[in-house]
């Protein structure tokens, strides 16, 4: 059982949009995701969010609005019985060359350091090739969910070039079912 599960936000916890999530009202949880987080919390797993959020750096929303989106998300998670132990996000654009923007491992490594967890005792659950690349660069196993925005089959094919045995699930609820069942039986 991993000690820490690292979660991408958009496409894993909430519905993603090609136009970004720019208001608290646009933040809508994927059915079953909040309950999945609650089940992971109840299983004693610590949870962290590691999410690229370039809309901030692009000036598409301001910090107070972004903070309100996260406050809504965290409240919904808490109301469902879950807890997020660390929230990390990269506000930079893809051309800024920062160390934190996925596919670079900075966000994941910062979360692991904050939660005092070695990479091999963590699991990244994401919906994009960038999530898998960041996990690979950080030395963290990864799982994919198909609930994100984009061609899930192409994402899985490209991800399997990097991690041939990477499992893919319909959504966070299905991945959580598999994770908890795998460790219940072992």
3-state secondary structure of 6: strand
Q: Catalytic site residue 16?
A: no
Is residue 173 assigned to a domain?
A: no
* Count of the separate structural domains present in the chain: 1
Of 46, 64, 23, nearest in space to 117 by CA: 46
Cα distances from 56 to residues 6, 30, 31, 94, 177, in angstroms, run 21, 23, 26, 12, 34
pLDDT at res. 164: 95
Q: Catalytic site residue 8?
A: yes
Examine the pLDDT at 184 and tell me if it is beyond 80: no
**Are the CB atoms for 58 and 90 separated by under 8 Å?**
no
Confidence of residue 119 (pLDDT cuts 50, 70, 90): very high
pLDDT at res. 155: 95
- Residues 42-98 have pLDDT tens digits of 999 999 999 999 999 999 999 999 999 999 999 999 999 999 999 999 999 988 999
pLDDT at res. 186: 59
Is residue 127 assigned to a domain?
A: no
Instruction: Of 28-37, 102-111, 144-153, give the lowest mean pLDDT range.
Output: 144-153
**Are the CB atoms for 178 and 158 separated by under 8 Å?**
no
pLDDT at res. 150: 86
Is residue 75 assigned to a domain?
A: yes
Is residue 112 assigned to a domain?
A: yes
- Residues 1-22 have pLDDT tens digits of 999 999 999 999 999 998 999 9
Q: Can you state the angle between helices 129-138 and 106-114, rounded to 10 degrees?
A: 60
Is residue 1 assigned to a domain?
A: no
Cα distances from 148 to residues 34, 43, 115, 174, in angstroms, run 16, 25, 26, 14
Catalytic residue among 10, 16, 131, 171: 10
Is residue 163 assigned to a domain?
A: yes
Catalytic residue among 8, 16, 131, 171: 8
Is residue 93 assigned to a domain?
A: yes
pLDDT at res. 15: 97
Domain holding 29: CATH number?
Answer: 3.40.50.1000
Is residue 172 assigned to a domain?
A: no
What is the reported pTM? 0.96
The Cα 21–Cα 152 span in angstroms is: 20
Range of the domain at 142: 6-122+134-150+157-167+178-185
Q: Indicate the average pLDDT of the chain.
A: 96
Confidence of residue 185 (pLDDT cuts 50, 70, 90): low
pLDDT at res. 183: 79
Cα distances from 166 to residues 11, 74, 140, 182, 185, in angstroms, run 18, 28, 12, 15, 20
């Amino acid at each position: 059982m991993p000690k820490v599960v690292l979660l991408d936000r958009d496409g894993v916890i909430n519905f993603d949009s090609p136009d970004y999530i720019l208001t608290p009202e646009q933040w809508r949880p994927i059915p079953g995701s909040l309950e999945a987080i609650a089940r992971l919390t109840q299983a004693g797993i610590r949870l962290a969010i590691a999410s690229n959020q370039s809309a901030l750096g692009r000036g598409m929303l301001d910090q107070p609005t972004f903070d309100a989106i996260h406050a809504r998300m965290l409240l919904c998670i808490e109301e469902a019985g879950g807890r997020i132990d660390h929230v990390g996000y990269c506000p930079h654009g893809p051309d800024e060359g920062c160390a934190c923007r996925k596919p670079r491992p900075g966000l994941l490594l910062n979360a692991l350091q904050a939660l005092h967890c070695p990479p091999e005792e963590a699991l990244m659950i994401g919906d994009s090739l960038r999530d898998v690349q960041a996990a690979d660069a950080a030395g963290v196993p990864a799982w994919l969910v198909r609930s994100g925005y984009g061609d899930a089959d192409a994402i899985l094919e490209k991800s399997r070039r990097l991690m041939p045995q990477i499992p893919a699930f319909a959504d966070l609820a299905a991945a959580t079912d598999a994770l908890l069942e795998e460790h219940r039986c072992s």
